[in-house]
Structure 1
Amino acid sequence: MRNIRLTVAYDGTDFHGFQVQPQLRTVQGVLQEALRLITKEEALQIHGSGRTDAGVHAWGQVVNFVTRSRIPVEKWPVALNVRLPNDLVIREAFEEPLDFHARFSAKRKVYRYMIDRAPYPNVFQARYAYHVPYPLNPDRMREATAYFIGRHDFTSFCAAATPVEDKVRELYRIDFEEKDSFLSITFEGEGFLWNMVRILVGTLILVGRGRLSPDDMPAILEARDRTRAGFTAPAHGLTLWEVIYQ
């Protein structure tokens, strides 16, 4: 038996998220079907580093699967990409020890959120950037992020229906990059709660517009109340950028 790790990129627009759902087109479902065709192993299952919601993209999603196939590891991207749709691409493949798991072996994850601040949407980036045609103050937004770095209870910044009880997570960095009308915000942390990055972004946008103050962030964190934070930014601006292991 061999354990194969794949780095996967996809445009999430036309997928109903990552996880398999009956009668719906999902990343896991499409990829799993292609792998079963290649390996002839009907029971083959893939494991992802995490679930992405409908509309969320990935540049560095990681999956693994155990197989009896003898296909050389460097041939997996070629073998799969000719069978996959244009919005799903295998970027690279590695062979790992049998105890490697895409989710449980992950140490950190990196997400990137893209905002387009132009007066009118960029037709070539509309699927990947949230259009905010209002003035934003990046300095105020950066100031607000200082309160999120470190280990905190992020109950106020996750979906109210989040099933996990422990909502403490550690954020290592939040970086801003400006290029023309685009503002990208990169989040690196040990893990993220359901909608956490999108709610953080929605809150930061309100700070950038002057509707919240950077100094409001400690009270919002302390409240542990979803209604105290900002709106949930749309899915299409979010990309799972990288999953970090050893």
Structure 2
Amino acid sequence: MRNIKLTIEYDGKRYLGWQRLGDSDNTIQGKIENILTQMTGEKIEMIGSGRTDAGAHARGQVANFKTNTTMDAAKMIAFLNRYLPQDIVVKKVEEVPERFHARYNASSKQYSYYVWNDVIPSAFERYYSFHYPQELDLAKMNEACRKLVGKHDFLGFSSLKKTKKSTVRTINELSIQKEGSLLHFTFVGNGFLYNMVRIIMGTVLEIGAGEMKLEAIEEIFEHKIRQNAGETVPSQGLFLDEVYYE
């Protein structure tokens, strides 16, 4: 049996997220699995590197699936991109070793979050950024980002309920680039908890707007209370850029 790795790009605004749902076929995973099942004549179930929320996007989501088909990679990618909706694109098809697992073998991930920081909203960026009209202090936000980098227990920056699994993660990079009214935040880390990027973003924005003090970050790490962190920002500004494997 062959193990096939897909690298996938999608615009998530029409979908209920990555993960297949039993009561709806309007998910990224569901759409791709349906086409893979048609292509191979087998019931295909993919393993994704992780879930993305409803409305979030990806430039480099990774998934793998097992199949007995003899179709080569070039024919697979042509078939998939012919029959998938235009807002889901398979960028690469590779045959990988049998033990490769898109989720368990991932060593780190890169996400982007975009904020449109202007009193006037953007007609073009509205599906791909969060409109935040308040004036922001970039120096304070950069300081907040520095405090968040490193190995910490991020439970207070997640929507997780009680869990027996470790909530310690390492953020290797959290940076901000300003391109006119568009702020581009880049996150690189060894793993991210449920809603972690969106809650960190809400916290950093509230610090930048003067609605929260920088010291709140240490308090959230110490007390691990979700309510002490910022709002969960909307999903449309979030992109999964790349999944890294050793």
**Range with greater deviation from structure 2 (139-148 or 99-108):** 139-148
Question: 2:39: which partner in 1?
Answer: 38
**Range with greater deviation from structure 2 (159-168 or 4-13):** 159-168
Contact 1:74 1:94 in 2 (8 A): no
Note the C-alpha offset of 1:70. Answer: 1.5
Note the C-alpha offset of 1:165. Answer: 3.3
Note the C-alpha offset of 1:160. Answer: 4.2
The one-letter amino acid of 2:140's match is R
Question: 1:113: which partner in 2?
Answer: 113
> Superposition pairs for residues 220-239 of structure 1, below 5 Å?
220-239=220-239
Aligned pair in 2 of structure 1 residues 123, 162: CA closer, same or farther (>3 Å)? farther
Contact 2:112 2:184 in 1 (8 A): yes
Taking the aligned partners of 1:164 and 1:40, their CA distance within structure 2 comes to: 40
Question: 2:206: which partner in 1?
Answer: 206
**Range with greater deviation from structure 2 (133-142 or 29-38):** 133-142
The one-letter amino acid of 2:69's match is S
> 1:158-206 deviations in whole A, cap 9, x for unaligned?
0043655321111111111111110010111110000000000000000
Question: 2:94: which partner in 1?
Answer: 94
**Range with greater deviation from structure 2 (169-178 or 67-76):** 67-76
> Superposition pairs for residues 52-91 of structure 1, below 5 Å?
52-91=52-91
Taking the aligned partners of 2:163 and 2:120, their CA distance within structure 1 comes to: 38
Aligned pair in 2 of structure 1 residues 124, 92: CA closer, same or farther (>3 Å)? same
Aligned pair in 2 of structure 1 residues 113, 164: CA closer, same or farther (>3 Å)? farther
Taking the aligned partners of 1:211 and 1:60, their CA distance within structure 2 comes to: 34
Contact 1:18 1:27 in 2 (8 A): yes
Taking the aligned partners of 2:99 and 2:160, their CA distance within structure 1 comes to: 34
Aligned pair in 2 of structure 1 residues 164, 192: CA closer, same or farther (>3 Å)? farther
- Aligned residue for 1:107, secondary structure, equals strand
Taking the aligned partners of 2:194 and 2:165, their CA distance within structure 1 comes to: 12
Note the C-alpha offset of 1:83. Answer: 0.6
Contact 2:160 2:193 in 1 (8 A): no
**Range with greater deviation from structure 2 (71-80 or 225-234):** 71-80
Taking the aligned partners of 1:78 and 1:161, their CA distance within structure 2 comes to: 42
Taking the aligned partners of 1:162 and 1:17, their CA distance within structure 2 comes to: 23
With normalisation by structure 2, the TM-score equals: 0.96
Taking the aligned partners of 1:131 and 1:86, their CA distance within structure 2 comes to: 26
Note the C-alpha offset of 1:23. Answer: 3.0
Contact 1:170 1:189 in 2 (8 A): yes
Note the C-alpha offset of 1:215. Answer: 2.8
Residue 192 in 1 paired to residue 192 in 2?
Answer: yes
Question: 2:153: which partner in 1?
Answer: 153
**Range with greater deviation from structure 2 (46-55 or 75-84):** 75-84
> Superposition pairs for residues 19-34 of structure 1, below 5 Å?
19-24=19-24, 25-34=26-35
Give the gaps of 5 or more residues in structure 2.
none
> 1:5-62 deviations in whole A, cap 9, x for unaligned?
11111111111111111232111111000000000012x2110000111111111100
Note the C-alpha offset of 1:227. Answer: 0.8
Contact 1:76 1:93 in 2 (8 A): yes
Give the gaps of 5 or more residues in structure 1.
none
The one-letter amino acid of 1:186's match is T
Taking the aligned partners of 1:76 and 1:117, their CA distance within structure 2 comes to: 42
- Aligned residue for 2:197, secondary structure, equals helix
With normalisation by structure 1, the TM-score equals: 0.96
Taking the aligned partners of 2:145 and 2:125, their CA distance within structure 1 comes to: 26
Across the aligned residues of Structure 1 and Structure 2, the Cα RMSD in angstroms comes to 1.2
Identity fraction in percent: 39
- Aligned residue for 1:3, secondary structure, equals strand
